[in-house]
Structure 1
Amino acid sequence: MPLRFRQEVQEVPRNRVAGIKRLACFAAGIAFSLCLPKIGFSYLAWFAPAALFYCARDASSRREAALLGFLFGFGFAGRSLFWIFHTCRFAGVPLPVSGIALTALAGFLALNWALYGAAVRESARRLPAGALPWVWALLWVALASASARWTPRVGFDLLAYTQYRWLPLLQLGAVFGPHGLAFLILVWNGALAELARKSPSRTPRNNLSAAGLMILAAAAWGTSVLAARPVPAPSPDAAAVEILQPNIDQYRKWDGRFEGDIRASIDALLARPRSAKTALVLWPESALPGWLDEPGNFSWIEGWAKRIGAPMIVGTITRSGERLHNSAVWIGADGVPAGLYHKRELVPFGEFVPMRRWLEPWIGILAQMGEFTAGGARQALFDLPIGKTAVTICYEAVFPKYGRLDAARGARVFVNLTNDGWYKNTDGPYQHLTTNILRAVENRATVIRAANTGISAVIDPWGVVLESVPIGERARLDARIPVSPFTEGSFYSRHGDWFGVAAILASLLLAAAALGERMKRARR
């Protein structure tokens, strides 16, 4: 009896400690999400992940470490994407279904963090303490890079987004892509977590100093890059682009009773006087109140192209036989279609339903959702007066692979057409704008963004927002597009995701070495 009682007494504090660690990781994930817009507490990224490292490193089991990682990731994704819950409610989705949608998405994105938590523990058991912060950062880069290749990700767990306010650090993207800054964030947090263990060794302090020096060097280099940036002065030679932000209520957009009001709003923007010859007019995603091939719609945009005497890129819904596409059509100055782009990355449960055959009988509301067809990965660029131009629609801009692919094919201008009216004034539109800033830096390309309800903007190749229109405002942004000096793009766009691939290979080598060591021990 005394022995059993002693064991029970010891079990109580052990369970309590485990519970505290789980709560700490969940809270740290929420804190990490506060780095993203609109809140934008970017400094939290340099502290919050340390809690995960500290707790997962000495977890009692691999399963416990995975749970800690999952809780961190669930807190991060659940809070940062809470605007999806609001969007479901705006659309009239029942409260329970809205909650299930957010929970399922956050849980899916948290799986990466669960795998990462387990990897943190396993590496801590096999490697020298001095190597851990560097290996942990490398493992995340490998995981993030690999995931981008095969999972239908939302993309907001690219850690570089947390530093959207710090342009000097973002310049790393032009060389390392989205993963270089993530590496610095995590190596610093890993070193911080090791220092918190109060080891008598000087190694944790040395690692933290080395990580700090790397961050300072990156910031200094980025500052020098920005200092050399030519400040664009108003020039009559710069192309004049008109960006339409009609601010059409998404929940009236497809109601036939408001078709006349929609046309009148866009007509009023296009009819405003011009001080210079227009080189391009941009309409937002699905700007037409119907299908492109409807006579009233096509004759409308054809007439405006001829009247203005400028090419236009118009967001519209198209159909080819039974296939439906979310598209952008390039209309020449003569009113004749010159190019067509189909969205490549469709929104799950928005533009298509994964596993519809099996899910629809159980979730009736899925029958009301559309089924669009994605376009090919390598679609023709638009050869416009502003240069070779690539188009992305809506959340495609979240994915670095499309910008990298288009820039490698010669695109020096990215056009992003979006309709963020679904999300109203939640965090969603601000997060979407942030992703375009990183795509501009990574590929040293100019980004021109036309958003139905905002935020429309022009972003230069250094990530500087030159001009923008606030959310919820009806406006036509008349902007001058400076010529980019980066005629060859960036190192990243020319050489691809080299840093991510290197991290994957290094991680595989580490895993192979660990497996070999385990097999040797098994033979003894």
Structure 2
Amino acid sequence: MLRKINFKSLTEKAKGLFKKGGAGKGTDAAASSSASAKRAEAVGVKSPAAPAQTGRPADTVAGMIPKEDIYGAPPTNSSLKVKEEDFFVGNTPDFLKPISEEDIEDIDLKPLGEDHPVIIKADKKILIFQLVRDLFSGIVVAFCAVACGLLLAESYITKAAPVYAWLAFIPFTIAIFNIRSAFFSLIFGWLSGGIFYFVTLNWISLTVMEGTGNHGLAMTALTALSAVLALQFALFAFGSYYLKRIPFAWPFAAACLWVGLEIVHQLIALKFMAFPWFVLGYTQFNFIYLIQISSYTGVYGVSFMVAFTSLVCGYLVLKMPRVLKVFYFTLAFCLMLFVLSFGHKVIKEQLNYLQASPHTLRVALMQPYTHKLHIEGRSEDVVYTIAGQLEALKDKKASFIIWPESSLPGDLLQNEYADYIQEQSAELKAWQLFGGTEEDGDKQYVAAVLVNETGVTDDYKKTKLVPFGEFLPFKFLLGGFYENNGITALTGVFTPGSEPGKTLKIIVPAQGKIKKEEYTFGTEICFESIFPSVYRAQAENGAEFFVNISNDGWFLESAAPYQHLRANVFRAVENRRPLLRSTNTGISAWIDSLGKIRFETGLNRQESSVFNFVFKDRDTKTFYTLHGDVFAYGCLAFAAALVIFGMVFLSVRNEY
């Protein structure tokens, strides 16, 4: 029977094994072996025969392998072998030699914890250093959030400042690589997006104030909308956090992620409800050579170029391998060179194409500036204003007169002024397009009607309505809340149309050598200008040009009318169709198929612009018209796959 083991004594004695030079101090191998045997007998364990000592560490290790267990029987697993390199970790041959009795007596063990004060003091220094470091990182991240939001906002407000968009993701990159938590990356992105939208969409509060007169509701609407839309930025930061686990692919993958989230926002708006007012590519509306890729990629190709270039600039300031920095700098430079070369080539070809037997249509863009008259219910003054502008057109020989959304009060089909409009069309020998409303039983539509000397010939009903402006979302759930708080849609409750691809036709007298007299065009009303699919559908159905009518009077003197105009630039380039735009208070414009704004009217004033609209009809359709957003969907799939891979298969150790 084994003697009772004294674990405390055994533990203290075992510590002597790690005393430097413990064996060999004036003792020979036999004495060491004898001491080892005595210690084994102290706990009742039969000691194996002492091996011959040669002074080589490998021999010592081999001699320590027992040839029988503590009961005297051979090991049950005869194949068990101990790798000598797993045991030998010392720096001298003496490290694994058994400790002698003499050395054990010399060991002076201090009570447990006696040396800890020095260690604790060192830990406090480390803790203070970590706190200071984390505080500094937090300040840097907060600064980056503000910088990112404000740079993007500055690139999108009233005056054109596209250069800021190319800088906006530099602080974003620095922040993401300083954040050590997925949760905080969400907070960072949400804060950046909230700042951006609060500044960029400040006109929302002005619009709500104009419609309701409630300042509290106006600020609540702006804050709530900014917070919701900022989720796109939050998801971008969250995905980028996991993409940094693949640092060699980060700039390209993050740019794809940005584009992917833009198309997701667009899809939610199409199928459900959202507000895709901001697309990064819109900031480059006047970079004529860059935006030509939109005929293949849509505006999302421009978004990718801006995001990728900016992310690469941020990547260059990080502590990354030089080969990666050189690679991405070269890639960004080559991509930009390719895109600008493509734009130069397309512009040259398009100019030559447009100069070959173009069509000329005499057009009048009407800007009546009657928004306030509509709000105040002064219908007679609205008609008087329109009558005055029509009178001024009698000597202008316009063949097509375009009026904005909300140009006439009441139902366009049953209006008491309908006969007057028909008479004016006959007198001017011109087609007229009016914006207003239509009623069909208990349904009311935002519509545009086409009129000639015979009366109304066709119409188009708006398919994408403005949330809270033209309908109240989730009314089946929140109807009681809306009613109890007096919340109504700003302009009424309307039903969306069901034909987004519908086109209208006009027939005008032939001019010069032009034999074709029938022209097909697509009409889009106000908010629909931020939905590329509406324009694509009309281009596929044979539209030769687009007509966008809007009432931007609700935006007052803010950045919104300029932002609205810039979206239309890309609709023209994407489909290679020119675009005519008529608004109630401005900005009215003619945008050619290259995206160049030929002219634009002033803001918040009455104007009538009569000119020769020169364009070339197209039998071919662009890649974007035929195939849509395949580029954006490809970016979404690629980025989503890498984010999932980083989340599931890569650990925190892979983070930069």
Check whether TM > 0.5. yes
Normalised by the length of structure 1, the TM-score is 0.92
CA distance in 2, matches of 1:158, 1:419: 21
Shift of 1:486: 3.6
Q: Deviations over 1:132-171 (max 9, x none)?
A: 1111111112221122112333223211111112111111
- Say which SS state the counterpart of residue 153 (structure 1) adopts: coil
CA distance in 2, matches of 1:234, 1:427: 38
Aligned length: 515
Letter in 2 for 1:284: P
Shift of 1:10: 3.0
- What does residue range 316-465 of structure 1 map to in structure 2 within 5 Å? 316-335=436-455, 337-359=456-478, 361-362=480-481, 364-367=485-488, 369=490, 370-385=492-507, 387-465=519-597
Shift of 1:273: 4.2
- Say which SS state the counterpart of residue 398 (structure 2) adopts: coil
Contact 2:140 2:175 in 1 (8 A): no
- Say which SS state the counterpart of residue 417 (structure 2) adopts: helix
Q: 2:286 aligns with which of 157, 160, 165?
A: 165
Q: 1:224 aligns with which of 333, 340, 345?
A: 345
Residues 376 and 514 of structure 1: CA distance in aligned 2, closer, same or farther (over 3 Å): same
Contact 2:468 2:488 in 1 (8 A): no
Q: 2:410 aligns with which of 290, 294, 301?
A: 290
- Say which SS state the counterpart of residue 86 (structure 1) adopts: helix
Q: 1:243 aligns with which of 340, 365, 372?
A: 365
- Say which SS state the counterpart of residue 171 (structure 1) adopts: helix
Shift of 1:80: 1.3
In terms of mean alpha carbon deviation, does 423-432 or 288-297 score higher? 288-297
Residues 467 and 201 of structure 1: CA distance in aligned 2, closer, same or farther (over 3 Å): closer
Q: 2:305 aligns with which of 163, 169, 184?
A: 184
Q: 1:215 — aligned with what?
A: 336
Q: Deviations over 1:358-379 (max 9, x none)?
A: 4454451314642211111445
Residues 400 and 18 of structure 1: CA distance in aligned 2, closer, same or farther (over 3 Å): same
Residues 511 and 43 of structure 1: CA distance in aligned 2, closer, same or farther (over 3 Å): closer
Q: 1:266 — aligned with what?
A: 386
- Say which SS state the counterpart of residue 322 (structure 2) adopts: coil
Q: 1:490 — aligned with what?
A: 622
Q: 1:46 — aligned with what?
A: 166
- Say which SS state the counterpart of residue 230 (structure 1) adopts: helix
CA distance in 2, matches of 1:443, 1:236: 18
Residues 274 and 308 of structure 1: CA distance in aligned 2, closer, same or farther (over 3 Å): closer
Letter in 2 for 1:290: G
Shift of 1:512: 5.5
Residues 307 and 254 of structure 1: CA distance in aligned 2, closer, same or farther (over 3 Å): farther
Shift of 1:177: 0.5
Residues 69 and 368 of structure 1: CA distance in aligned 2, closer, same or farther (over 3 Å): closer
Shift of 1:221: 2.3
In terms of mean alpha carbon deviation, does 477-486 or 25-34 score higher? 477-486
Shift of 1:194: 1.4
RMSD: 2.5
- What does residue range 115-130 of structure 1 map to in structure 2 within 5 Å? 115-125=235-245, 127=246, 129-130=247-248
Q: Deviations over 1:34-60 (max 9, x none)?
A: 112412211111111121122123412
Letter in 2 for 1:409: N
Letter in 2 for 1:339: D
Contact 2:501 2:535 in 1 (8 A): no
Normalised by the length of structure 2, the TM-score is 0.74
Residues 28 and 283 of structure 1: CA distance in aligned 2, closer, same or farther (over 3 Å): same
The reply on whether 1:88 has 2:218 as its aligned counterpart is no
CA distance in 1, matches of 2:587, 2:388: 19
Shift of 1:111: 0.5
Contact 2:458 2:504 in 1 (8 A): yes
In terms of mean alpha carbon deviation, does 110-119 or 506-515 score higher? 506-515
CA distance in 2, matches of 1:220, 1:490: 19
Letter in 2 for 1:34: E
CA distance in 2, matches of 1:275, 1:243: 15
Q: 2:49 — aligned with what?
A: none
Q: 1:142 aligns with which of 249, 256, 260?
A: 260
Q: 1:99 — aligned with what?
A: 219
In terms of mean alpha carbon deviation, does 364-373 or 320-329 score higher? 364-373
Q: 2:606 — aligned with what?
A: 474
In terms of mean alpha carbon deviation, does 135-144 or 364-373 score higher? 364-373
CA distance in 1, matches of 2:499, 2:146: 37
Residues 384 and 368 of structure 1: CA distance in aligned 2, closer, same or farther (over 3 Å): closer
- Say which SS state the counterpart of residue 304 (structure 1) adopts: helix
What are the ranges of 5 or more consecutive residues in structure 2 without an aligned counterpart?
A: 1-119, 508-517
CA distance in 1, matches of 2:497, 2:393: 37
- Say which SS state the counterpart of residue 157 (structure 1) adopts: coil
- Say which SS state the counterpart of residue 506 (structure 1) adopts: helix
- Say which SS state the counterpart of residue 388 (structure 1) adopts: strand
The reply on whether 1:17 has 2:17 as its aligned counterpart is no
Letter in 2 for 1:148: Q
CA distance in 1, matches of 2:356, 2:294: 28
CA distance in 2, matches of 1:465, 1:324: 34
CA distance in 2, matches of 1:516, 1:492: 35
Which structure has more relative contact order (CA 8 Å, sep 6+)? It is: 1
The share of aligned pairs that are identical, in percent, is 26
- Say which SS state the counterpart of residue 198 (structure 1) adopts: coil
- Say which SS state the counterpart of residue 522 (structure 2) adopts: strand
Contact 2:520 2:542 in 1 (8 A): yes
In terms of mean alpha carbon deviation, does 90-99 or 320-329 score higher? 90-99
The reply on whether 1:34 has 2:154 as its aligned counterpart is yes
In terms of mean alpha carbon deviation, does 81-90 or 318-327 score higher? 81-90
- Say which SS state the counterpart of residue 482 (structure 1) adopts: strand
Q: Deviations over 1:46-92 (max 9, x none)?
A: 11112112212341211111111112211222211111122223334
Contact 2:445 2:461 in 1 (8 A): yes
CA distance in 1, matches of 2:645, 2:393: 68
